[in-house]
Structure 1
Amino acid sequence: MLFVLIGLWVIGLLLLLTDPKRTTTRWISCIAFTGGSGGLSAVIADDIVPLAQSHLVLSDRMASALYTAELASSLLCYYGLPYTFIMFAIHYYPNYALWKPSWKRFIPWLLLLPIAVSFLFEPRPGDPIPYIFVSFWTTPYILAGIVLLILSVRMERNSFLRRSRLLTTAAAAPTLFFSMFTLYLLPAYFHLYELWRYNAGAIAITLAIIVGSSFRYGFMGLQISIQNQKLDYTLRAITSGTSILNHAIKNDVGKIRLFSDKIKADALAGQSSPEQVVQDIEVIMAASQHIYDMIYRIHGQTQEVELKLEVIRPAEVLSQCLRMLSLDLRNIQVQEFYAFDGEMLGDRAQLTEVWTNVISNAVEAMPQGGSLTVRLTETKRKVVVEIKDSGSGMNAQQLKRVFDPFYTTKGGKKLNFGLGLSYCYTIVQKHKGAMSMDSKPGQGTSVFMQFPKLTRADARKGETWT
């Protein structure tokens, strides 16, 4: 069991040092520490106490201290392991950001209640815990955590993140499922108390998955290979910094050129009116202001995108995006439905870029013309944006990879980096929202973006989120 103790605690410490500010990292580290506490209890009972006895140094005070340490570490494993696992699974669940703040505050305390009640039950003679009662809450905790991990894999649309979630689930779920029987169910109902020793084999497989994936892909941010770590950092910097900025500038420069050509052509033909010129110049000014805002948001060439949150009206921003793309939409039948006319918290510049990107993709999917529907609705807790085109659509393989960085279906296009939808996906997630797509060949594509509704607390916030 010394192997279990050292292996789990080292992995937990490495994960914690890698990204201590990330909530999911802290919870999965707690899983490693509580699981390792079971190994510590076994080491005390099987190794340290017999060693002290053989050397005749086990005094009454030392024996009492070792017994207390063994019991404490044993209880930490029995009670802490299922609790930290369910808390990790909850925070790891993709839609957790959309949960009500009151739920987020209440759930951790509610889940602690069965642990507190467990101390009110007297264990059977020789048992460390009241197995029957404990099994009633540990079993649902572990099963619910496994279900949440599996759902997190199924719900993830980005294949890079999906692989990370799959590795995390493969490392945690089987071992916790096995431990559910050896630690709780078998001792409670079949009086089989020593099968927990076989947990070492399951934990060895878990450690092998973590170490192997850390060398190859990275596990929960842990990258053992220095070269891979530098490459991963460089890739993230390119994706979220310089190339995102290039993508935004390319789109806005295209708008400026289109409307400048239009003003020039109308002037040469004598067809320009002061009102139309003012409208076209406003589009050019909006595009140039958007370039400035994007440069301001991205700090340097290797920094993460930063959100500057403010209270906005999404209907106004969507209408502005359509006006900026009006020349591209000349052969497109545009339908706008704004059932929600309220406010939400968002970064105006980033969301303008997101919605412009999605609309531009819809236009490019309809080179011969078609229909574009922009719909803004609301549910009880969310603001929902839908952008639907009648274009060529995508097959299942393309749809699976559509949010991957550098993946593009526009292979023949110049200056196309395949970053548009990956960027959109990231920005929507940073807004604590969700983005999904529905598409079939020949039936067009629908893009859905969900954002949390504005609360009174949100309206008072003046801070910058990153």
Structure 2
Amino acid sequence: MMFVLIGLWTIGLLLIVTDPKRRTTRWIASIAFTGGSGGLSAVIDDTLKPLFYDKGWLTEPVAKILIQIETTCSLICYYGLPYTFLMFTIVYHPNYAVWSSRKTWVPWALLVPVLLSFGFDPVKDDPIPYRYVTLWTTPYIMAGIAILVHATLKERNTFFRKHRILTTLAAAPTLFFALFTLYVLPTYFGLYEMWRYNSWLIGFTLAVILISSFRYGFMGLQISIQNQKLDYTLRAITSGTSILNHAIKNDVGKIRLFSEKIQSEADQPDPHQLRDDIRVIITASQHIYDMIYRIQGQTQDVELHPDNVHLDQLLEQCVATLLPAMNEIEVERDFRYTGTIWGDKAQLAEVFTNVLTNAVEAMPGGGLLTVKLTETKRNITVEIKDTGIGMDKKQQKQVFDPFYTTKGGKKFNFGLGMSYCYHVIQKHKGSMHIHSKPGEGTAVFINFSKKERGKR
């Protein structure tokens, strides 16, 4: 058990030191510390007490102190492990940002059964009231495992999915085994010493964490060589500058198209049409200006400047700017929601323009572009659908990955459009999904929570 204590507390300490501000890091470190507390309890009982007795140090005051520490550590493990595990899985889930804005009371409600455990008296010689504790620890641990698996299946980014698989592999088997050895077997079968076999599973967990930390990084813990850090930095710089290039390229293209349109109609100008075309050029140039100031440096995150945004008007503007490029493409609009959401107009315009541009480029021979804005009980949904070439399942799995592109022949394509869009929508506490089949077109669904609409 000394190995369990040292291993778990070392991992917990490294995680906290490496990335103390991230919720997921703090909660998984809490799992390590609560699990390690059980190891410390066993070390006191199996090692320190016999050692102190042999040395003649086990006086009555010392024995009382050791018993008190042993009992406290044991309770931290029994009561703290299921709670910290469940809280970690909730925070770790991709939908946590949406959940946390709706149900801030959940962490406190989940703590109630833990605190009530102190009000029950255990059966003689039992460390805890097994009958009661097993009633809440079983659903906590099983729910945590289910959330971990669901989070892995839900992850669309293949890079992050790899990390989620490793996390599930490290945590789920160990906690499932602990459920039986710590709670179920003592409660229903009277087997109290099976917890000693936990060390084998914990050793497996530590091996997964150690290997994945060297190779991929694990929950913020990255044990890496210098060239790996350099590669990360270069990719971050490329990502920041390429997103700007992507945005500028789109708007410069609009300016060129509408400038050529104005030039071709110079002999027979239509004042109303001319004003509309000039307005598109002004909007495109303003968007370039806004995007430069939205992307905070080459290696920093996208910063939002939220305000009330009319999605129907914004979608109409984005469609209008692409009309000159829509040869033989019919546009069908269906806007059933005319309210506002709380969002960054410049970033959302870039998202919609990216998705619309992809749809137009997927229909080089013409087709139907459908743009819908609908309202459900919980969400406001933007649907952009084309009748183009579509994508296979492999392409759909990678479409949100940074630096992945299906347009390898284009010089100025950086493979960051959909990755950027996905990131911006997540920052708005929304979700983005793609449905597509080869030869049958592609539909992109962007959902915004009604909780985020109309804020001031």
TM-score greater than 0.5 by the shorter chain: yes
Q: Which runs of 5+ in 1 are unaligned?
A: 461-466
Alignment check: 8 A CA contact 1:237 1:304 kept: no
Q: State the match for 1:262 in structure 2.
A: 261
Distance 1:229 1:63, change over 3 A: farther
Alignment check: 8 A CA contact 1:384 1:448 kept: yes
CA offsets per residue over residues 393-437 of structure 1, 9 Å max, x none?
111111111111111111211211111101111111111111110
CA offsets per residue over residues 323-357 of structure 1, 9 Å max, x none?
11111124211111111111111111111000100
Distance 1:127 1:448, change over 3 A: same
CA offsets per residue over residues 42-71 of structure 1, 9 Å max, x none?
111111222111111122222111111111
Deviation, 1:276, is 1.6
Alignment of 1:46-445 (within 5 A): 46-99=46-99, 101-103=101-103, 105-227=104-226, 228-239=228-239, 241-267=240-266, 270-445=267-442
Alignment check: 8 A CA contact 2:123 2:129 kept: yes
Deviation, 1:95, is 1.8
SS of 1:326's equivalent in the other structure is helix
Deviation, 1:265, is 1.6
CA distance in 2 between partners of 1:91 and 1:393 (Å): 34
Alignment check: 8 A CA contact 1:344 1:454 kept: no
Q: Which runs of 4+ in 1 moved over 6 A?
A: none
CA offsets per residue over residues 288-337 of structure 1, 9 Å max, x none?
11111111012222222111111111111111111111111242111111
SS of 2:374's equivalent in the other structure is strand
Q: Which amino acid aligns with 2:387?
A: S
Superposition CA RMSD, Å: 1.4
Q: Which amino acid aligns with 1:194?
A: E
Q: Which amino acid aligns with 1:59?
A: T
CA distance in 1 between partners of 2:41 and 2:154 (Å): 38
Instruction: Normalising by structure 2, report the TM-score.
Output: 0.97
Deviation, 1:273, is 1.8
Q: Which runs of 5+ in 2 are unaligned?
A: none
CA distance in 1 between partners of 2:265 and 2:55 (Å): 100
Q: State the match for 1:459 in structure 2.
A: 455
SS of 1:344's equivalent in the other structure is strand
SS of 2:455's equivalent in the other structure is helix
Alignment check: 8 A CA contact 1:345 1:454 kept: no
CA offsets per residue over residues 3-43 of structure 1, 9 Å max, x none?
11111111112112222221111111111111111111111
Alignment check: 8 A CA contact 1:375 1:385 kept: yes
CA distance in 2 between partners of 1:431 and 1:172 (Å): 30
CA distance in 2 between partners of 1:308 and 1:235 (Å): 25
Q: State the match for 1:44 in structure 2.
A: 44
CA distance in 2 between partners of 1:226 and 1:316 (Å): 50
Q: State the match for 1:463 in structure 2.
A: none
CA distance in 1 between partners of 2:161 and 2:271 (Å): 53
Q: Which amino acid aligns with 1:55?
A: K
Q: Which amino acid aligns with 2:7?
A: G
CA offsets per residue over residues 119-171 of structure 1, 9 Å max, x none?
22211111111112111111111111101110111111111111111111111
Alignment check: 8 A CA contact 1:387 1:447 kept: yes
Q: Which amino acid aligns with 2:153?
A: R
Asked whether 1:32 is paired with 2:32, we answer yes
Give the aligned length: 455
Alignment check: 8 A CA contact 2:236 2:298 kept: no
Q: Which amino acid aligns with 1:298?
A: I
Deviation, 1:96, is 2.3
Q: State the match for 1:464 in structure 2.
A: none
Alignment check: 8 A CA contact 1:34 1:81 kept: yes
Q: Which amino acid aligns with 2:49?
A: V
Distance 1:265 1:229, change over 3 A: same
Q: State the match for 1:446 in structure 2.
A: 443
CA offsets per residue over residues 357-391 of structure 1, 9 Å max, x none?
00000000000000011111122222111111111
Alignment check: 8 A CA contact 1:237 1:302 kept: yes
CA distance in 2 between partners of 1:92 and 1:233 (Å): 25
